[in-house]
Amino acid sequence: MKKLIILAISIMMILSLSSIVMAKAVKLDLGALGTEKGQGKVILNNPSGAINLVVQVNLKGAQPDFPYCVWIKAEGVDFIYLGKLVTNGVGNGTFHKNVETELKGIFNKIIVALDDCDSINLYWSDEGKIEIK
């Protein structure tokens, strides 16, 4: 019985470690450019199925009641427009999009950018690495 309990605990530990190693999410900092205030976080996730990329942006302390266009850029690919993030009265906002994209493969440099919807970049994420299936 004791051996069975030890075996069960060992299997549970291996399964929990494998889920940590197999994590598909990439977390990036989002920094302001120029005189823009605020900061944020970006989470990129690549689940399997028809939706092969999930993009989530959290922005805090930016311009109040302001629409930002959200873009993603992968190494060797032009910017892809994802949609708009509109901040609330204190400059906070979130963006979430499930993307069915033709991007496939391992991208060593992928970033998310926010602009004023008129091509002036205001926020830029760190570079991340992700595999998109």
- Per domain, the residue ranges of the chain are 25-132
Amino acid at 58: N
Q: What's the CATH class of domain 25-132?
A: mainly beta
pLDDT tens digit at each of 133 positions of the chain: 554 444 344 444 444 433 333 347 889 999 988 888 899 999 998 876 566 789 999 999 999 999 999 999 888 888 889 999 999 999 999 999 988 777 777 777 889 999 999 878 899 898 888 887 7
Confidence at residue 7, expressed as pLDDT on a 0 to 100 scale = 39
Judged by DSSP in three states, 113 sits in strand
Contacts of 55 (CB under 8 A, 6+ apart): 42, 43, 44, 70, 72, 82, 95, 96, 97, 99, 112
